[in-house]
Amino acid sequence: MRLFKPRFRKQIARIEVSGAIAGATRKYVLDALKTVEEKKFPALLLRIDSPGGTVGDSQEIYSALKRLRNKTKIIASFGNISASGGVYIGMGAEHIVANPGTITGSIGVILRGNNLERLLDRVGVSFKVIKSGPYKDILSFDRELTEPEQQILQQLIDTSYNQFVQTVAEGRRLSVDAVRSFADGRIFTGEQALELGVVDRLGTEEDARRWAAELVGLDPEKTQLHNIEERKKGWLSRFLPGRSQSRSQNKGLLGGLNWLEFEMETNGLPLWMFRP
């Protein structure tokens, strides 16, 4: 019989999801959730500050959160923005707290492709395509979509959208019709989200921490957060101690480059993402 609880049983784990959700985010979150399970944290505070991202990665994070809920209380805290895929992964939490001015919603699916046909004609560039079927080069950037192609893509989007709506309805204990009434791509504030039933309470991340502590019988005044951060990769970070500082100073530039990389990688993919 143990007289004292292990250290991690007296703390609340914290995982932060920030920026666009893609493969790297999925890997970090899934690894972090394994750590939460292995160390037997009684509760998890999931901080979300994301406009959303790729469909498959969001679904895998959501599924892992649902599995963990059988062992750990999960509270989500919506930050500046938790939209589209950010909302979706938030459905993996039992309870959700949002700031009154949090930008959330944008429940829906978007797929974008680039049509450079006129530009290519101007510079005299054309492509010869040999394909096994009529739709193998769907969303090709050197021509317009055909009507059958538009129908195929719309069916794909509709299926993905229905999955999203069903998950929100299940996660928030709402009817599908109720979710469809506001799941038309619109964004709304945390205050509006509370009225719609998308979140449980208005408050800060600190409010979410205190609530999590109360739910698992810990003292809200004393219970600390244990941040589970992404593991540093590569040998370079071990020899350049000032690297994190310079990265912070160049955050704007790197953020722009990362966003451009995300745009290129996801071109032509269905996204659960707020894209103004």
Q: Which residues are catalytic?
A: 84, 136
Contact 72, 252 (CB under 8 A): no
| Residue 172 DSSP class | T
Would you state the structure tokens that stand for residue 271, as one six-digit string?
A: 């996204």
DSSP string, 45-82: EEEEEE-EEEHHHHHHHHHHHHHHTTTSEEEEEEEEEE
Residue pointed to by tokens 């939490």 = 93
Distance CA 96, CA 200 (A): 5
Q: Which of 230-235's residues contact partners 24+ apart within 8 Å by CB, and which partners?
A: 230/28, 230/32, 231/31
Would you state the structure tokens that stand for residue 200, as one six-digit string?
A: 């449980």
User: CA torsion, points 170, 174, 175, 181, in degrees to nearest 10?
Assistant: -110
| Residue 110 DSSP class | B
Taking Cα atoms as reference points, which of 171, 233, 255, 265 lies closest to residue 31?
233
Q: Which amino acid is at 20?
A: A
Residue pointed to by tokens 């921490």 = 209
Distance CA 177, CA 168 (A): 11
Contact 21, 59 (CB under 8 A): no
- Tell me the CA end-to-end span of the chain in Å, nearest whole number: 57
Q: Which amino acid is at 163?
A: Q
